């Protein structure tokens, strides 16, 4: 009997939509005769999250009522808490309600799922962007993707047939929620904190994890292995760098590294909530929320992702936020500290950020020892030295300390 937190939703059980065995074979064959819809990488990753049960209790792409409720008040039509619309779009005028479709990833050509269309509808894209991202600025990568969506949204239940390349490419790292829960049970963990990562771990990440280790049974270093924006460090490099840190600087049995197939939306506060929702499904009782969680540029205040947990309907989410203040290296303290523990001024502090790490290394610079462990730096330097096409990385307020409150 597991003592881990129950999955999200009224039924409190995992609801994976991925078919197996004879059922999978039959549905895959049937899909060949169905009308095909091509999906973006974001839609594909959302579908795989539904397939593995990470998006429990979703059974398919959202209806217009679900979309409206999520945008307005974090609630689907049936009252289920959900912070970001999970939708599928198309420009195909011929698709109609009742149609059965095969859903194919546009980039790889992989058949991912079948779907029965229960509703075809249009949305106000600017309204969604303002509600979810707090901006309609096309420079925001999440806004850009919503504005490029097709004219229509398609709702309906899905049967997932594939996890694409994730299980093979990230073998040993890629977890389904049932697998992470089994790992935690075997370790005897019940209080598990998730650390969201899309960058290699620098010293602030390490500090966040070690604070959580002190008060939890263990920490799930859970990194995104889906598609990122230009300039971000690819997953295979991050995996190697994080493992070097785990092997050399953490007590064995206190952390587990895992990967999940979702694509970043860079939705800041709303995405922090989504991270907590699916981490609950993965078996995590707590979600570490630090500075500029899931943010991009200067669209959000540094701690907006902490504040939003106080704005959602009471009891909507079992996974609790573990808030940790701004962390940095303090020369006077002689080590890592936070705003709550360090009494010194900003002139004594070295602020650390993944953006700063990427910018410095991409330009051939050296990182101070206070920024990152030498084993990690060596791996990242090798990556940047062999990078053929450079991407300019811009610093924003959250990376430099000049931020709105």
pLDDT-derived band at 405, boundaries 50, 70, 90: very low
Reference 294, options 194, 216, 165, 179; nearest CA is 194
The residue ranges of every structural domain in the chain are: 21-164, 171-260+266-400
Residue labelled with tokens 């096309």: 138
DSSP state of 18: B
Structural contact between residues 97 and 120, judged by C-beta atoms closer than 8 angstroms: yes
- Phi and psi at 112, nearest 5°, equal -105, -35
Average pLDDT over residues 26-52: 98
Residues with a known catalytic role: 198-199
What pTM was computed for the model?
0.92
pLDDT of residue 229: 67
Higher-confidence residue of 147 and 355: namely 147
In percent, the amount of the chain with pLDDT more than 90 equals 80
The percent of residues in the chain predicted with pLDDT above 70, rounded, is 95
More confident residue, 70 or 402: 70
Structure tokens, 310 = 């106080």
Q: Is the pLDDT of residue 399 over 80?
A: no
* Domain at 21-164, CATH class: alpha beta
- Residue spans of alpha helices (H) in 363-401: 374-385, 397-400
297 Rama class: left (phi>0) / alpha (psi -120 to 50) / beta: left
Q: Which of 58-72, 89-103, 344-358 has the lowest mean pLDDT?
A: 344-358
Alpha carbons 31 and 111: distance in angstroms, whole number: 8
- Residue 198: pLDDT band (50, 70, 90) is confident
Give the integer Cα–Cα distance in Å for 179 and 318.
20
| pLDDT-derived band at 289, boundaries 50, 70, 90 | very high
d(CA 112, CA 166): 12
For the domain 171-260+266-400, what is the CATH code? 3.40.50.620
Per mean pLDDT, which range of 49-58, 134-143, 272-281, 343-352 is the poorest?
343-352
Residue 300 · residue 269 · CB < 8 Å = yes
Is residue 217 within 8 A of residue 187, CB to CB? The reply is yes
Mean pLDDT of the region 329-348? 95
Reply yes or no on whether the pLDDT at 394 is more than 60. no
Give the pLDDT band of residue 232 (cuts 50, 70, 90).
Answer: confident
- What's the mean pLDDT when you consider all of the chain? 92
Sheet bearing 327-330, strands edge to edge: 335-338, 327-330, 349-351
> Which among 54-58, 353-357, 379-383 has the top mean pLDDT?
54-58
pLDDT of residue 261: 95
Over range 131-160, report the average pLDDT. Answer: 98
For the chain, the maximum distance between any two Cα atoms, rounded to a whole number of angstroms, is 69
Q: Tell me, what's the pLDDT at 235? A: 81
Closest CA relative to residue 132, chosen from 203, 84, 204: 84
Query: What's residue 10's pLDDT?
Result: 95
More confident site: 1 or 323: 323
Which residues, 6 or more positions from 149, have their beta carbon under 8 angstroms from its beta carbon? 40, 87, 89, 125
């Amino acid at each position: 009997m597991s003592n881990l937190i129950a999955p999200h939703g009224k039924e409190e059980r995992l609801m994976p939509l991925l078919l197996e065995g004879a059922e999978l074979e039959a549905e895959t064959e049937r899909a060949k005769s169905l009308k095909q819809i091509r999906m973006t990488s974001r839609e594909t990753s959302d579908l795989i999250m539904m397939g593995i049960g990470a998006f429990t209790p979703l059974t398919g792409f959202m209806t217009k009522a679900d979309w409206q409720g999520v945008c307005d008040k974090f609630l689907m039509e049936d009252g289920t808490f959900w912070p970001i619309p999970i939708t599928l779009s198309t420009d195909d005028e011929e698709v109609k309600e009742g149609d059965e479709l095969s859903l194919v990833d546009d980039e790889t050509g992989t058949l991912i799922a079948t779907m029965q269309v229960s509703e075809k509808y249009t949305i106000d894209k600017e309204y969604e962007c303002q509600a979810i991202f707090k901006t309609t600025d096309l420079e925001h990568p999440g806004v850009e993707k919503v504005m490029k969506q097709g004219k229509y949204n398609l709702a309906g239940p899905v049967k997932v047939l594939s996890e694409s390349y994730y299980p093979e490419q990230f073998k040993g790292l890629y977890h389904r929620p049932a697998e992470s829960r089994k790992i935690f049970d075997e370790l005897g963990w019940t209080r598990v904190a998730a650390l969201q990562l899309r960058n290699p771990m620098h010293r602030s990440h390490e500090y966040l994890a070690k604070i959580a280790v002190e008060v939890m049974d263990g920490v799930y270093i859970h990194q995104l292995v889906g598609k990122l924006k230009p300039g971000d460090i690819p997953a295979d490099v991050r995996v190697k760098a994080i493992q070097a840190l785990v092997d050399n600087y953490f007590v064995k049995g206190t952390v587990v590294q895992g990967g999940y197939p979702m694509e970043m939306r860079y939705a800041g506060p709303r995405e922090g909530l989504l991270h907590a929702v699916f981490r609950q499904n993965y078996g995590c009782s707590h979600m570490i929320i630090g500075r500029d969680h899931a943010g991009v540029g200067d669209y959000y205040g540094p701690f907006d992702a902490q504040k939003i947990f106080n704005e959602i309907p009471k009891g909507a989410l079992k996974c609790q936020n573990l808030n940790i203040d701004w962390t940095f290296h303090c020369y006077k303290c002689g080590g890592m500290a936070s705003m709550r523990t360090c009494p010194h001024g900003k002139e004594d502090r070295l602020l650390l950020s993944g953006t700063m790490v990427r910018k410095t290394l991409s330009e051939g610079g050296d990182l101070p020892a206070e920024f990152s462990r030498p084993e990690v730096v060596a791996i990242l330097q090798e990556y940047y030295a062999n990078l053929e096409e450079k991407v300019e990385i811009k610093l924003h307020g959250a990376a430099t300390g000049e931020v709105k409150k």
